[in-house]
Amino acid sequence: MNTVTSRTTRSTADWQRADAAHFLHPFTDFQSLARKGSRIITRADNIYLWDSEGHKILDAMSGLWCVNVGYGQQALIDAATRQLRELPFYNAFFQTATPPPIELAELLCEVTPPQFNHVFFTGSGSEGNDTVVRMVRRYWDVLGQPQRQVIISRKNAYHGSTMAGASLGGMAAMHAQGGLPIPGIVHIEQPYWYALGRSMSRDDFGRVAARWLEDKILEVGPDKVAAFIGEPVQGAGGVIIPPETYWPEIQRICDQYGILLVSDEVICGFGRTGHWFGCERFGVRPDLMTFAKGVTSGYIPLGGVMVGDRVATVMIEQGGEFEHGYTYSGHPTACAVGVANIRLIRELGLVQHVRDTAGPHLAKLFETLKDHPLVGDAETCGLMGALLLVKNKVTGELFPDEVGIGMVCRGHCFGNGLIMRAVGNRMIMAPPLVMTTAQIDEMGSLIRRCLDLTLEQARREGWM
């Protein structure tokens, strides 16, 4: 019989054994992880994590793009504790509300662009995007255009892992499992200049890539298209930063055909780009915005959809009952943490810090990393960035997939106290927004060391 031993008496090996025996991890080859053993993270402070062996690790991924205010913020801990004592949960069904979601809704309407005066809460980003699918289709139904069902998204996009979220996403490996995408969701190519447009200037490519949306609208039939959805910067796809010309042209096309524009702000929201929301950085006016992660800095699960006036007016005045919602739509404790988090972002001036100080400092660091023999391209947007690892900087030749150069580099990062993520041959990061310039320099030294170790290994193994 299994006995559950107390936390403090368990060794790393104990944790790994129990983990392998019972815990199925997300996006994981269960068998291979069980053989290898998980890394066990036991505590955190500010931008640092510690594992069960006592190693200190600089978390350049903010957990999973979410711990924007850094670890250990007392205001968030207090907000959760207070709310758990007072009223841990009550639902928002049956004509009832609790104070925290009302307060958070008010605050969200203050920090989002002016067209947003309503919010629908969910438990996660994926549930937010499921809500988007249901809401845009309902919107067109109510307007007497039920044939408008099709949502256009992009290849290599990530919009979550539920049936609708994964369908909206453009990840081929996800579509290959479980019969996705669901009907009525189609994809166009992504605005990835390095891979698809290097024969053109970035600006020309941005316009070309946006017009793939127009081509798709005409192919599907403009009267059948309900909405276009995109991340301002594709995060999980590898921090693909679109050319400046891309989003304005997307806006023009959506306006011309009257289709709804949805900005998935799950990663880009709450200051990541140096603006409150990514759509503001790129100059677009979405009708709907999905958010999650940064709304609570990941301290507790929460997501939602900001509903712009165009959609809200129709849904409220003509829609009748919207047959959709979750147990945790407006969870009081999650929303109380959201309120404390947004207040803290304001108090610390984090959006301005990213725009004026940390973002430009990271950009400068990435500029200097361009001299490294492995780095073919280095780009940032606010406090997220990507380094493209190449075999030959002059020709831009890439390493063959079998080498798995990103995973090799990621291994050196883990081994040297730095968490960066590998997406194919792109090394990506999105560190906590509280990062100081001194901490960015510290991160820069770690990155350079890991790139050097990767280069040494590549030469030793004859990969270049």
Comparing CB distances to ligand PMP, the nearer of 161 and 357 is 161
Is residue 93 within 8 Å of residue 82, measured between CB atoms?
A: no
Binding to ligand PMP by residue 345, rule CB under 6 A? no
* Torsion 7-10-12-17 (CA) sign: negative
Tokens found for residue 136: 């845009």
Residue 212 CB contacts under 8 Å (≥ 6 apart), including other chains: 188, 189
DSSP string for 226-277: EEEEE-SSBTTTT-BPPPTTHHHHHHHHHHHHT-EEEEE-TTTTTTTTSSSS
Which residue, 236 or 254, has its beta carbon nearer to ligand PMP? 236
Residue 406 has φ and ψ, to the nearest 5°, of: -65, -45
Name the residue nearer to ligand PMP (CB basis): 398 or 427.
Answer: 427
Q: How far apart are CA 242 and CA 216, in angstroms?
A: 19
Q: How many chain residues interact with ligand PMP (CB under 6 A)?
A: 15
With binding defined as CB under 6 A, does residue 194 bind ligand PMP? Answer: no
Which residue among 104, 150, 266, 422 contacts ligand PMP (CB under 6 A)?
266
Residue 269 engages ligand PMP in binding (rule: CB under 6 A)? no
Minimum gap (Å) between residue 242 Cβ and ligand PMP: 14
> Is residue 250 at the binding interface for ligand PMP, with CB under 6 A as the rule?
no
Give the residue with the Cβ less far from ligand PMP, 237 or 376: 237
Nearest approach, Cβ of 386 to ligand PMP (angstroms)? 14
- What character string, x for contact with ligand PMP (CB under 6 A) and - otherwise, covers 218-237? -------------x---xx-
Instruction: With contacts defined by CB under 6 A, name the span among 103-111, 124-132, 185-193, 215-223 that binds ligand PMP.
Output: 124-132
Near ligand PMP in 276-295, by CB under 6 A = 292
Q: Which letter does DSSP use for residue 356 in this model?
A: I
Whole-number Cα distances in Å, 300 to 79, 171, 283: 11, 27, 30
Q: Does 331 bind ligand PMP (CB under 6 A)?
A: no
For residues 140-159, which are near ligand PMP according to CB under 6 A? 158-159
Confirm or reject binding of residue 76 to ligand PMP (CB under 6 A).
no
Residue 263 interacting with ligand PMP (CB under 6 A): no
Beta bridge partners of 228: 152, 261
Of residues 266 and 375, the one with the C-beta less far from ligand PMP: 266
Residues 6+ apart with CB under 8 A from 199: none
Distances (CA, A) of 13 to 10, 37, 99: 8, 8, 44
Regarding 355 and contact with ligand PMP (CB under 6 A), the answer is no
User: CB nearest ligand PMP: which residue?
Assistant: 125
The shares of helix, strand and coil residues in the chain, as percent rounded to the nearest 5, are 45, 15, 40
Residues that bind ligand PMP (CB under 6 A): 124-126, 129, 158-160, 231, 235-236, 264, 266-267, 292, 303
